[in-house]
């Protein structure tokens, strides 16, 4: 059985998300960015974040699959793309967690083909030590070490997304069994 412990409480998350919302509102003053939610993992972060942004925005959604059923990633494919026209628009891509960086690298390439005027990345969590491709995260909720985390949108084999806090799996040897 998978066991886990809380690493960030709902209260800590709420406070930090509010700060990022404020920062984005300041940085994009006078603009109307298109904020893109990377499904499914970023869904709660995205919902909380956008409610804390005080400038006009547009929202959109994209879903990539890497045929990941446990903790290892595989081939990348777009399952559902954004529908907005982002040509000459400022876009902010919102991710749950940047690990190797491969998911974002793939998505950024797709978005660049649509000629937005700027692209920034906002990630709830950054696992910097695990980076394999060079990705600059402009807004980071929290830097975390290498463990496997669940909750606040993040899953293990589609489970635990609904936890209102972030937890770390303490017996990772149970994963992928
Ligand atoms: P990357 O392509 O290696 O950067 O992987 C990023 C994606 O892997 C994230 O969007 C998550 O869906 C997933 N992921 C990476 N680390 C974790 C974790 O600790 N818990 C849950 N999902 C994770
Ligand atoms: Mg994800």
- H-run or E-run covering 51: helix 43-51
The stretch 7-17 carries a mean pLDDT of 98
How sure is the predictor about 72, in pLDDT bands with cuts at 50, 70 and 90? low
Per mean pLDDT, which range of 58-62, 66-70, 121-125, 160-164 is the poorest? 66-70
Q: Which atom of ligand 1 is nearest to the CA of 103?
A: 2
Give me the residues near ligand 2 (ion), CB cutoff below 5 Å. 41
Closest residue to atom 11 of ligand 1, CA basis: 97
The stretch 61-81 carries a mean pLDDT of 78
In this structure, the dihedral spanned by the alpha carbons of residues 93, 16, 66 and 105, taken in order and rounded to 10 degrees, is 40
Helix axes 43-51, 10-27, angle to 10 degrees: 60
The confidence score (pLDDT) of residue 174 equals 79
Closest residue to atom 12 of ligand 1, CA basis: 41
Q: Is the pLDDT of residue 113 over 90?
A: yes
| 143 given a catalytic annotation | no
Choice among 99, 143, 155, 176 that is catalytic = 99
């Amino acid at each position: 059985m998978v066991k886990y412990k809380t690493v960030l409480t709902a209260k800590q998350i709420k406070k930090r998300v509010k700060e990022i919302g404020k920062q984005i509102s300041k940085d994009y003053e006078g603009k109307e960015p298109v904020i893109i939610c990377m499904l499914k993992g970023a869904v709660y972060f995205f919902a909380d974040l956008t409610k804390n942004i005080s400038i006009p925005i547009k929202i959109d959604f994209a879903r990539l699959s890497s045929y990941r059923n446990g903790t290892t990633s595989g081939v990348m494919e777009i399952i559902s793309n954004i529908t907005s026209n982002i040509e000459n628009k400022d876009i902010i891509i919102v991710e749950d967690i940047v690990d190797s960086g491969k998911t974002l690298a793939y998505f950024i390439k797709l978005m660049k083909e649509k000629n937005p005027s700027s692209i920034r990345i906002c990630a709830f969590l950054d696992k910097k030590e695990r980076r394999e491709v060079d990705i600059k995260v402009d807004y980071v909720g929290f830097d975390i070490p290498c463990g496997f985390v669940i909750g606040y949108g993040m899953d293990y084999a589609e489970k635990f997304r609904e936890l209102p806090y972030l937890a770390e799996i303490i017996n990772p040897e149970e994963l992928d069994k």
